[in-house]
Structure 1
Amino acid sequence: KQLAATKPGRAHLRSQGSYLVLRQLHSWEKSPEVLSTCLKLIQVLIGDEPEEGMENLLEVTIPEEVEKRLRDLDEQEEQERRKEREREEPET
């Protein structure tokens, strides 16, 4: 998380071929939590670099309504994972 937050960190991850490793991980990983994190990191690595002054993603000010929407999406994703785990658990 910290390494991908800064422009030099993202550049280092890209230069080491991290995207290719993450892409392969995503192709066979079964854990929804790992897949979600993997996709988020891939999006950071392949996305456009933020404009000047916003290079450190941990220091970017996020508007309150956007932050709420992101929290809601995270919560929805977690609920979907819980439901999926419940479906996968064998009945006793």
Structure 2
Amino acid sequence: MPEDPIAQGGIATLTRRFEDVAEKTDREFGIVKSGLTALRLQVGNLDQKVGNLDTKVSALGEKIDRNQAQIIELLTQLVGRDPNAG
């Protein structure tokens, strides 16, 4: 029994549609994957910058502590002195 040409045409149409959708899905997946890779790189960069900022904040805190200690020492030296004395 010969194959039905209408059925074969329908199968061919469905196959093309399936392949088109599969190709589109593959492209979209590639775009999403590329976006995720870029996002990972940005997060890594951001993490590194935050780490550097943490180091700078710690150093600044230490410098503030030293300055406060110097101010206290100077104020302590001034307490009890005659302001009119040279």
Q: Which bracket does the TM-score occupy, shorter chain normalised?
A: 0.3 to 0.5
Q: Which has the higher contact order (CA 8 A, sep 6+)?
A: 1
- TM-score using structure 1 length: 0.31
- TM-score using structure 2 length: 0.33
Structure having the larger proportion of residues in helix? 2
The structure having more radius of gyration, on CA atoms, is 2
